[in-house]
Structure 1
């Protein structure tokens, strides 16, 4: 049976791959991006255009969709700034926390009536940094630890309503963000030692198709032989 799934950050990378795989299996995709042009070439049934850096606009944007039922939302969009605590500016902190945690929380709140009506599924694309934080990851890891807390609270609150909640923790997969991280670290990057977006997307799509009598609360994903992030000597 066809489902309606909202994907944030659908304009590129994992989000675009998710939109492609969901559409290929017959689902209807509501594609989110910061601009309409970002969705050029992205398969979707409907679009949701707003900047996650401005979460005050989310409720009105969702209301315009007029959703009565929503089978799932995949919180995929995010930003990362690499630097020591001494280097992290106030602007970096504010942008990272707003986009990575405040916006997903507000979007989820706005979507909850439709998710409850469909007994839907909320998937948070987290990170290994949401489990443990290393040097130069402070703002990003803080936002991802907070995202884990949001997922845990939401899961406990919405169980009586039949809403399922999953946190996915992919590590070292081939995206523009991973390349950006390596560049900021001045570290080598080998996509052959990273998990492909296709594999991550397939795993998330499969999670959305789990039987109604079960839920995967958390899932960690790593490549078999990841290249450590170390600055070139």
Structure 2
């Protein structure tokens, strides 16, 4: 049974954006498997120990890592999950909004990794970044989001190459359509929810959308010692959507 697996006993995991959606599922999965979990985000986390965080502030990442060490004395797993997305065409997006997207989605993970490396070096720990299928392809009016996630995929490979010899691994997951509260609200707000669900299911070879828990299962595997020979990879979690060609 899953709740008997304790791959993260005596380990500390920091999950950014861990209060909801995919981040919440990741935090719960790591906790179920024995980890001491700390989440970091704007809002209060009523389930786990948490740190208030504004990732648009470049001073935030180092403060968070130091707080984790102060509370637990170690860091074994860093999950860079916090992110944002703004819909705007290139001509409509201000430079300020463009920079904010890059700061939250790409610069903050870079700064978190940089601050965490001395502690991950001690524990032979590892990093899992939450990228996106939009780091591999694009939806309309998502330029800043696509660029930031593609950059995060590149950062994943670079960290793996530069720090593999120190026993530090770095991988990423690239979720597609996942049934987070945000996406479920989008479905429910559509004029015909049944048609929306049917149509969104049809673009996936598995015939349905994904769950946060399915992403969390992969994150837990990548963060575990059994994945010790896996690093620098970006794993697509999309029910085959990116593989399926559109109809002629």
Q: TM-score range by the shorter chain?
A: 0.7 to 0.9
3-state SS in 2 of match to 1:165: strand
Contact 1:34 1:49 in 2 (8 A): yes
Q: Equivalences for 1:141-160 in 2 at 5 Å?
A: 141-160=146-165
Which residue pairs with 2:238 in the alignment? 222
CA deviation after TM superposition for structure 1 residue 13, in Å: 0.8
CA distance in 1, matches of 2:115, 2:140: 35
CA distance in 1, matches of 2:35, 2:81: 17
For the aligned residue pairs, the C-alpha RMSD in angstroms reads 2.8
CA distance in 1, matches of 2:120, 2:114: 10
Contact 2:14 2:68 in 1 (8 A): no
CA distance in 1, matches of 2:88, 2:190: 9
Contact 1:82 1:185 in 2 (8 A): no
State which drifts further: 216-225 or 89-98: 216-225
Q: Pick from 51, 54, 58: which aligns with 1:48? A: 51
CA deviation after TM superposition for structure 1 residue 18, in Å: 1.4
Q: Pick from 28, 33, 36: which aligns with 2:36? A: 28
CA deviation after TM superposition for structure 1 residue 64, in Å: 3.3
CA distance in 1, matches of 2:101, 2:225: 32
CA distance in 2, matches of 1:209, 1:187: 42
Aligned residues: 222
Which residue pairs with 2:217 in the alignment? 202
Contact 1:82 1:181 in 2 (8 A): no
The structure with more radius of gyration: 2
Contact 2:174 2:235 in 1 (8 A): yes
CA deviation after TM superposition for structure 1 residue 185, in Å: 11
3-state SS in 1 of match to 2:108: helix
Q: Pick from 66, 69, 73: which aligns with 2:69? A: 66
Which residue pairs with 1:13 in the alignment? 21
What TM-score results when the alignment is normalised by the length of structure 1? 0.84
Which residue pairs with 2:175 in the alignment? 170
CA deviation after TM superposition for structure 1 residue 26, in Å: 1.5
CA deviation after TM superposition for structure 1 residue 124, in Å: 0.6
CA deviation after TM superposition for structure 1 residue 99, in Å: 0.4
CA deviation after TM superposition for structure 1 residue 184, in Å: 11
CA distance in 2, matches of 1:6, 1:116: 15
CA distance in 2, matches of 1:179, 1:96: 23
CA distance in 1, matches of 2:182, 2:156: 22
CA distance in 2, matches of 1:125, 1:170: 8
CA deviation after TM superposition for structure 1 residue 131, in Å: 1.3
Contact 1:80 1:177 in 2 (8 A): no
Q: Deviations over 1:100-142 (max 9, x none)?
A: 0011111111111111111111001100111123431211001
Gaps of 5+ in 1: 229-233
Q: Is residue 82 from structure 1 mapped to residue 87 from structure 2 by the alignment? A: yes
